[in-house]
């Protein structure tokens, strides 16, 4: 089973692509866009509560993201803030989703 949009291959019994949310096909797609995705930084924070809230918002909207340094409490000697990066083509949507968010830690920086 194959996703006609992204080309991902699935085992028998799965009927929908987990990423694209489209029905799977028996044959692989002929043309799949395999260009590397470009990411951009959105914000930095030290607050684990903010990270959890942001992740739940982005997961609900099916936004592709990465939080670098999410587990900064386990790192030393210099603790760096967690950095949220998203795909460039989704950056404006993410900024709009997070615009009204009251981030609780003063060390947060938006990009």
Regarding whether 45 and 26 lie in a shared domain, the answer is: no
Regarding whether 64 and 87 lie in a shared domain, the answer is: yes
Regarding whether 101 and 49 lie in a shared domain, the answer is: yes
- Rounded Cα gap, residues 68 and 74, in angstroms: 13
Residue 6's pLDDT is: 79
Regarding whether 104 and 58 lie in a shared domain, the answer is: yes
Regarding whether 78 and 49 lie in a shared domain, the answer is: yes
- Rounded Cα gap, residues 79 and 46, in angstroms: 9
Regarding whether 22 and 50 lie in a shared domain, the answer is: no
Q: What 3-state DSSP class applies to 87? A: strand
Q: Is residue 105 very low, low, confident or very high in pLDDT (cuts 50, 70, 90)?
A: very low
Residue 44's pLDDT is: 87
Q: Is the pLDDT of residue 111 over 60?
A: no
Q: Is residue 94 very low, low, confident or very high in pLDDT (cuts 50, 70, 90)?
A: very high
Residue 81's pLDDT is: 82
Regarding whether 55 and 9 lie in a shared domain, the answer is: no
Regarding whether 43 and 80 lie in a shared domain, the answer is: yes
Average pLDDT over residues 14-28: 88
- Per-residue model confidence as pLDDT tens digits over 28-85: 887 765 566 788 999 888 888 888 999 999 999 989 899 888 776 555 556 778 889 9
Residues paired with 65 in a beta bridge: 86
Range of the domain at 53: 39-110
């Amino acid at each position: 089973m194959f996703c006609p949009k992204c080309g991902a291959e699935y085992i028998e019994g799965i009927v929908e692509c987990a990423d694209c949310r489209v029905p799977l096909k028996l044959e692989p797609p002929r043309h799949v866009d395999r260009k590397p995705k470009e990411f951009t930084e959105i914000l930095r924070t030290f607050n684990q509560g903010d990270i959890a809230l942001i992740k739940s918002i982005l997961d609900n909207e099916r936004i592709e993201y990465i939080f670098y340094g999410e587990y900064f409490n386990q790192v030393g000697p210099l603790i760096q803030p967690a950095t949220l990066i998203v795909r460039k083509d989704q950056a404006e949507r993410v900024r709009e989703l997070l615009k009204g968010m009251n981030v609780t830690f003063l060390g947060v920086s938006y990009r």
